[in-house]
Amino acid sequence: MPIHIVLLTLFAALLHASWNALLRGGTDRLWSMTIMCLTIAVTCAATALFLPAPDSASWKYALLSALLHVGYNLCLIRSYRSGDFGQTYPIARGSSPLMVTCAAAIFAGERIELSTLLGITLISVGILMLAAVGRKRVMSGLQYPLATGAFIAAYSVVDGMGVRVSGNALSYTVWMSALWGVMMPALYITLRDSKSLLCWRPDLLRAAGGGLVSLLAYGIIIYAMTAAPMGAVSALRETSVLFAAVLGYLFLGETLTLRKMLTCTMIAAGTLMIG
């Protein structure tokens, strides 16, 4: 994998952990996620005016990905009710790289080197071990972070295939994100009402900023998938759990033990194998 792709993906991982920490720390996560999506929609709509439309062959992928992103949002919000950030986030992220690798091989015909596959496996196992650190039994809400991981794998492969036939990675990202950004507020209004969505809250600017960070992070990932195998990019992206462990310790009052640090070292070793 080209070194600039590795570095960009690791930067995206840091951004991804940051906006997830913002979401986990919010009091009304459905509202926060919807404000993030609304910010994404407005930003992408304005940006689309200056970009060519993606090739028509990619539109079906963009629409499917937008729907999968909405499902991912709902599962992620539900996951954060079931456990702390340092547990649910690693399970959701750690369960997806191997699924992405298998799906990319089946649906996109990707082949992957043995060393890269070993690196992906090492990262996945390390992430799942990180989720289990300090736990004597599996959490009761395990199905929600696992479902989140399945949605991550699904939209990652769909976007990896879509961007490769789009003719323009930035255009594809903007239009797919705009579709996703519109769907989430529509769902919120259906579940609640428009008045509560548009009213001022102290967390408004933080949620809007999280939307911009999220958009940048995933835009980088979509670009990376044009130049590297989807499974490898996905595994590198999920090293965001390293940043999440630190953010959870610094800002959310969660513990950072020696065992956690050793598990993080395993994830870093897998990253080096891929890079």
* pLDDT tens for each residue of 7-48: 898 888 888 777 766 666 667 888 888 998 999 999 999 999
Residue 46 near residue 241, CB atoms below 8 Å: no
pLDDT for residue 138: 47
> Is pLDDT of 275 > 60?
no
Query: At which residue do the structure tokens 């993606």 appear?
Result: 54
Long-range contacts made by residues 139-143, C-beta under 8 angstroms, separation at least 24? 139/82, 139/83, 139/87, 139/88, 140/82, 141/78, 141/79, 141/81, 141/82, 141/83, 141/88, 142/82, 142/91
| Structure tokens that stand for 190 in this block | 């259906």
Per-residue pLDDT band at 139 (split at 50, 70, 90):
low
Count Cα neighbours of 190 within 13 Å in the Cβ-side half-sphere: 6
Say how far apart CA 168 and CA 58 lie, in whole Å.
10
Q: How far is CA 23 from the centre of its chain?
A: 13
| Structure tokens that stand for 231 in this block | 């499974």
Residues 191-247: tens digit of each pLDDT: 888 888 888 888 888 888 888 988 998 899 999 988 888 878 887 887 777 777 777
Per-residue pLDDT band at 174 (split at 50, 70, 90):
very high
Torsion of the alpha carbons at 204, 208, 209 and 212, rounded to the nearest 10: 180
Per-residue pLDDT band at 86 (split at 50, 70, 90):
low
pLDDT for residue 3: 86
Please provide the average confidence, as pLDDT, over all residues in the chain: 82
| Predicted structure pTM score | 0.78
